[in-house]
Amino acid sequence: MGSFSLWHWLIVLLIVVLVFGTKKLKNIGGDIGGAVNEFKKAMKDGQIEDNTDKSGTTIEGEVTKKTKQ
């Protein structure tokens, strides 16, 4: 009772394809795949930056404007 059978999923898939069309579903899939790849790339870059920050490097800067909040 808790899960659908294979036939239920096929009918749901058929309805989704009829409503959205295959071209739009392909575009949505490509967009989601691209977003996942960008997320993975950002996570990998973030790990590399975190490791370099913990090495004890001092970052020097200059205050150009002071604001009181």
pLDDT digits over 11-66, tens only? 998 998 899 888 888 898 899 999 999 999 988 887 665 555 455 666 677 767 77
Question: Cβ contacts of residue 57 below 8 Å, gap of 6+?
Answer: none
* Contact (CB, 8 A) for 25 and 16: yes
Tell me the whole-structure pTM to 2 decimals.
Answer: 0.44
Q: To which residue do tokens 């970052």 refer? A: 59
Q: What local confidence, expressed as pLDDT, does residue 36 receive?
A: 93
Cβ partners under 8 Å of residue 28, min gap 6: 20
Q: Rounded to whole angstroms, how far apart are CA atoms 62 and 60?
A: 7
* Residues in contact with 4: Cβ distance below 8 Å, sequence separation at least 6, in sequence order: 12
